[in-house]
Structure 1
Amino acid sequence: MDPKQVMQKLSFLPDLHMVGGAVRDILLGLKPEDLDFATSAPPEEVMRQAKAHGLAAIPTGVEHGTVTVLIDHHPYEVTTFRRDVETFGRKARVAWGQSIEEDLARRDFTIGAIAMNLEGQVIDPYGGQRDIEAKVLRAVGDPAQRFREDYLRVIRAGRFASRYGFEIEPKTLQAAREAAPEVLSHVAIERVTAEFNKAFQNGIPSRFVRYLYDLEILQRLIPEFEDTHLLLQNPRWHPEGDVLTHVLQVVDRAPPPIRWHALLHDIGKKDTARWKPEGWYSFYGHEQVGARLIPRIARDLRLPNHLRDELVVTTALHMVPVFTKPTPAAIRKFQAQAGPYLPALQALYQADGAERRPKESWKFFEPQPVPVKPVLLGRHLIERGHKPGKDFSRMLQAAHNWQLETGETDIEKLYQVALKARAKEG
């Protein structure tokens, strides 16, 4: 719904203002992702007034002054003006404020410490509009104090700079550097990972990753990134130079759903680095080492299981098309290993190669006339009198391997292969 229409439907609330990111995006000429509002009314009054005007109201965070009002089934957060009484890193004891200016004083950055009233007037006590025009990210007031109030703001600074292409103002950047060692002690890892997910959606995500690397937050999250800017690569394949620079470029080239894959695809390079007299490192087997690291990294970052499983496969297989001749058997085996993750693997391969991949290597991603999924299934063995047991998986695997190797799809012939495998083991 149009922001003006939403504000009109909430106009029964006293001193109503649209606040934060929505105003920032409007001033940037962007469509706001979420609309948030502030009012002088306490939460109980917001709920009473909303219901009196026929709107559903949910007490989603009454202790913090927040009520969610449903308009045409869409949720909008309305929060009572607040002022900080005492802050504790990620938490604060607040009291209800008396004005929008007082409420804006507790915001993190000037580009978000802006409000707009029902008449469309912009309330900007900290020069947020000026900083938007100058493409500068600046903390409200004392940057060191802002970061001590909420250490997540250190990471958010990098995300905003990446999202909008802004430069972080020097005092704000210095305060972020000084606060960086405390960030992971005060911020839940789920919140950190959420910032990655947001940064990977738009803007220039490599700026976000580089910022975290420069602040040494990335290396604390994923130790395998330590000193990757020193790992020079073979200039024939990597004219960009070191491993970190390469990863940053791949992250930018990858589509948003593949940016975790891009970030982690070469995570095994540090552990496999071997110096060459030619003046660069080799990384033999880095893809397999990296794949073995993924479960631990995914666990540490609280990544969802489905993403973890996909990352293991794409990391393990992303070099196969480079070094393997694309015979029909090799292609079938590759696609069978990739399984449902083949599209993600192809997107990663595209981003990783930067148009430098051999043309014939793309055959690994082409549809195959022979199926790569097993043709001989367990039900076929049961129909032929076999009972599920220890021989089952061995027989099925032997038949599938033969199918991939030869292209055979005749069930009876594959069954004979399975029988031979059983007899051999017996």
Structure 2
Amino acid sequence: MSVRLTDQPWLTAASTRAVMAALEAAGGPGCARFVGGCVRNALIGVPVDDIDIATTLKPEETDKAIRAAGLKAVPTGMAHGTVTAVTERTPFEITTLRRDVSTDGRNATVAFTDDWAEDAARRDFRLNALYADADGQVFDPTGHGVADVKGGRIVFVGDPETRIAEDYLRILRFFRFFAWYGRGEADPAALAACRERAPGMGRLSAERVSKELMKLLSAPDPRPAMAAMDGARVLAQVLPEATSCAQFDAAVDLTADPALRLMTLLPADAEVAKGVSGRLRLANAVRDRLMQAATAFPSVDLSMSDAAARAAVYRHGVRAVMDALYRRWAEAPGRGDDARRLLRLVEDWTPPGLPVGGRQIARLGVAPGPETGRLLKAFEDGWVADDFPSEGHAERLAALVNRPRE
């Protein structure tokens, strides 16, 4: 049955037509087709963020064709056949049709081809091996891609173990695509292959693994995929520190933040957070959130007073306390009223600066040195414990200076 993309602004945009016209001027009609995610998403009405194009033109020919049309060409991966065309500030990644010559589970040596079926055969999943021409006519070389998209099935192209052996990252990609596009039960053959090949993920770079993991955790509801990962022993391979998924399951209903979802998979331990962040080479911002929330966690609970909440914010920061509150809420999903009240308080409160310093202590006759630090610390502790009073600072400080040392 013929399938055509309709009502797709990106397909009819002037920038898209300019790129396709440039390629067809060099290689003739049909030498270029949209491929992968843009076709898949268009079929199910999901927004299209990236536009990838496959072509029979060799990389040098692609580069020349783009430049001849007056468009910007960026040689982003010539050795692997990729040139990026940029027009109207929109990038189009254009890659020559390829076939794998050899693979080692991490990188592939490729050869260029003009055979669309060969190019499709080296792709990961049938729903990603879809092409469409400039008019939106869809081509489905595997014969199952369109049905998989519409049925929410994530099925490898050909033999799952062979596809995984070519690149072990495809294990995580399977669960990521299942989280975003899958419905019903995961493909049994794919799960079995992922389970069998999971140890091979040790060959992958930490950056590739963490990127896929964070994309998976960003899905609207990653719980079925995470449960499938756990059952296939893939979660233990990627995140051996993960504890019970119960808090994670609850957290998915509370937040779409992937970093917060990740921390609910881990024990509230700053050293564990540091170890995970280092091993997976997580972004510094994510690492800091994991560690700071774990440090704040013991000081936070859903029964705390407003004063205690303000004290926690002063000691640990707004973001860390909010993250810790979400963790507590995931522990006790039924206490939403308490959690929401505290989250509003924390978000709306701005911690004041310490109202005294070394100069005020010096005026009381204390010589600069360790005693100044001790007095400032004692003043701060009392000021925080009393919920940040705005007056009486001089009297409080004088009392500390004049208090006999024990």
Amino acid at match of 2:241: E
Aligned-residue Cα RMSD (Å) equals 2.9
Taking a change above 3 Å as real, the CA distance of residues 332 and 66 of structure 1, as seen in their structure-2 partners, is same
In the alignment, which of 126, 138, 142 is matched to residue 122 of structure 1? Answer: 138
Is 1:336 the equivalent of 2:314?
A: yes
Q: Distance in 1 between matches of 2:324 and 2:256?
A: 14
What does residue 250 of structure 1 align with? Answer: 250
Query: Residues of 1 paired with 2:348 and 2:129: CA distance?
Result: 59
Deviation per residue, 1:169-221 (Å, 9 max, x gap): 222221122111211x2211111110121112223212232232222232233
The answer for the alignment partner of 2:67 in structure 1 is: 51
Match of 2:5 in 1: none
Give the CA deviation at 1:389: 5.0
- In structure 2, relative to structure 1, the CA distance for the partners of 1:38 and 1:420 (3 Å cut) is farther
Structure-to-structure mapping, 1:6-405, within 5 angstroms: 6-10=15-19, 11-13=21-23, 14=27, 15-126=31-142, 127-166=144-183, 167-183=185-201, 185-225=202-242, 228=243, 243-244=244-245, 246-257=246-257, 259-265=258-264, 267-268=266-267, 287=268, 290-318=269-297, 320-322=299-301, 325-326=304-305, 328=307, 330-341=308-319, 342-356=321-335, 359=338, 362-363=341-342, 366=345, 372-378=351-357, 380-381=359-360, 384=363, 390-405=370-385
- What displacement does 1:361 show? 8.8
Deviations 1:125-166 (A, max 9, x none): 111001122221111111111111111001110111111133
Runs of 5+ in structure 1 lacking a partner?
229-242, 269-286
In the aligned structure 2, how far is the partner of 1:2 from the partner of 1:171? 35
Distance 2:60 2:156 in 1: 32
Which one-letter code corresponds to 1:338 in the other structure? Answer: H
Is the Cα contact below 8 Å between 2:55 and 2:94 reproduced in 1?
yes
C-alpha separation in 2, matches of 1:416 and 1:310: 39
Which residue is equivalent to 1:4? Answer: 12
Larger relative contact order (C-alpha < 8 A, sep ≥ 6)?
2
Query: What is the distance in 2 between the residues matched to 1:118 and 1:387?
Result: 80
Bigger drift between 55-64 and 331-340 goes to 331-340
Return closer, same or farther for 1:400/1:169 CA change in 2, 3 Å cut-off. Answer: same
- TM-score, scaled relative to structure 2: 0.84
Name the amino acid aligned to 1:332.
R
Q: Give yes or no for contact 1:51–1:57 (8 Å, CA) kept in 2.
A: yes
Counterpart check, 1:408 vs 2:386? no
CA distance in structure 1 between the aligned counterparts of 2:347 and 2:310, rounded to whole angstroms: 7
- Conserved in 1, the CA contact under 8 Å of 2:306 and 2:345? no
How many residue pairs are counted as aligned between the two chains? 384
CA contact (8 A) 2:309 2:346 kept: no
Amino acid paired to 2:310? R
Give the conservation status (yes or no) of the 8 Å contact 2:271–2:291: yes
1:339 corresponds to which letter in structure 2? G
Which position in structure 2 is the counterpart of 1:234?
none
Runs of 5+ unmatched residues, structure 2: 1-8
SS at match of 2:228: helix
CA distance in 2, matches of 1:418, 1:371: 27
**Shift of residue 382, structure 1, vs aligned partner:** 8.3
Structure 1-normalised TM-score? 0.81
Secondary structure of the corresponding residue to residue 100 of structure 2: strand
- Residues 302 and 328, structure 2, Cα contact 8 Å, conserved in 1: no
The CA distance in 2 between the partners of 1:149 and 1:3, in whole Å, is: 32
Distance 1:351 1:197, change over 3 A: same
CA contact (8 A) 1:107 1:140 kept: yes
